[in-house]
Amino acid sequence: MVSVKEALQIITKHTQMLNSVTLPLISSRGMVTAQEIYSPLDLPPFRQSAMDGYAIRSHKEKEYSVVGEVAAGDGKEFQLKAGEAVRIFTGAMVPKTATAVIIQEKVTRQADSITINDEVVLESNIRPRGEQISKGSLALQRGTKLTPSAIGFLAGMGVTDVLVYGKPRVGIVITGNELVAAGEVLKEGQIYEGNSKMIQAVLEEMSIEGCTKYQVADNFEGTCEVLKKAFQENEVVLVNGGISVGDHDHVYEALKVLCVDSLFYKVRQKPGKPLFFGKQNNKIVFALPGNPAAALTCFYVYVYPALQKVMGHEGMGLERRQLAVTKAVTNILGRTLLLKAKILENGEVEILEGQSSAMLHTYSLANALVLVPESVDSVPKGGLVEVLMLPN
């Protein structure tokens, strides 16, 4: 049995990022750039009007004659003389000879001329060429997560493909005789299988889509067979249930038969004590306890940082904060507690009722986990605790 800290260190040590791949930009959401990206052009690529109005070549008078029009997308160039203006629209190319764009609200228009009812500020309402980024300069560092804004930024530079660290294929192996799919009628002793949906959802939160689900009843040969297949088809295997010590829990023995290196089995924590982490060549496997809340907590605390590392993210794990607790907490177990909690508007953290590792009801109200270390036996009301922010 290891401590939470040791478990996390072991995971960090034994988890490697995947090889990089070139992908179409649109398929890269949530992935991490595997090289620096430099801008192939000036952005904007020309002096661009920021407003609808008139591009003028200024002179001393307030009156200007309007000699043409430029809309967004037009490639026309006007040679303006002092005292001349063109009608212009947001996003349009400003004539090289123009010295300012005056918004139409500040202008009175008569037939082919305008009167400007304001001071003219040189270069006003003009976005200089390359204002956002100039050709050849660094647009994104290696190791940047491709968020929707980063994708939009690259798309605006005409980038079509990006080199990113690969996303793992993840197999979810569900074990248990008692589990029935939603939509079927429950017989005595049966329950609905929910954890695969939950794990799939939390993977999708990390932009890992399209995982494969495997399901097996509580028998040893079947478990070995399904695990073998899951290892063949995935880089990361997440087993759910069957990892405890009961006569019908076969996962630990099956992993042994499949020559999986056991890197740790059992963590001094509640919930999630029977958590297993191992490796088969370059493939990693977590066996999560079957209790739904325990499985989810183990995912957030251990699988989440491991998958982040596999995908090349820097800074592993959930964001952590120190916050004051609304009520005293006691820890008589000598294990680390991971408690479902809610951060209140006043910035304090409330530990929720219903901490059973079978209960997801409380979890669905939580936005954080409070971590009470194994060495701490009590925290008074108002005392600071470590809070792990859930990413949802």
Interface mask (CB under 6 A) for ligand LQZAQKY5, residues 349-378, using x and -? Answer: --------x---------------------
Q: Which does 20 bind (CB under 5 to 8 A by kind): ligand LQZAQKY5, ligand MOO, none?
A: none
d(CA 369, CA 270) in angstroms, rounded, equals: 12
What are the φ and ψ backbone dihedral angles of 5, each rounded to 5 degrees? -65, -45
Look up residue 249 and give its DSSP letter.
Answer: -
Point out which residues pair with 237 in neighbouring strands.
Answer: 171, 285
Cα dist. 387→110, 313, 365 in Å?
A: 65, 21, 15
Q: Using CB distances below 5 to 8 A depending on partner kind, what does residue 373 bind out of ligand MOO, ligand LQZAQKY5, none?
A: none
CA 224-287-194 angle, 5° bins: 95
The DSSP letter of residue 145 is B
What is the smallest separation between the CB atom of 287 and ligand LQZAQKY5, expressed in angstroms? 7
Residue 245 found at the interface with ligand LQZAQKY5 (CB under 6 A): yes
Residues contributing to the site for ligand MOO (CB under 6 A): 270-273, 289, 291, 294, 357
Q: Shortest distance, CB of residue 352 to ligand MOO, whole angstroms?
A: 16
> Of the listed pieces 1-9, 37-45, 284-292, 325-333, which binds ligand LQZAQKY5 according to CB under 6 A?
284-292
In the DSSP assignment, the letter for residue 303 is: I
Per-residue x/- marks for ligand LQZAQKY5, 163-202, CB under 6 A? -----------xxx-xx-----------x-xxxx------
Residue 20 or 357 with smaller CB distance to ligand MOO: 357
User: Distance from CA of residue 213 to its chain's centroid?
Assistant: 22
For tokens 């976005």, the residue is 127
Residue nearest to ligand LQZAQKY5 (CB): 290
Tokens of 246: 């009961």
Phi and psi at residue 41, to the nearest 5°? -155, 170
Let me know: does 101 contact 53? Beta carbons within 8 Å. Answer: yes
Task: Give whichever of 125 and 357 is closer to ligand MOO, judged by the CB atom.
Answer: 357
Given the rule CB under 6 A, which residues bind ligand LQZAQKY5?
174-176, 178-179, 191, 193-196, 240-245, 249, 271, 273-274, 289-292, 294, 357
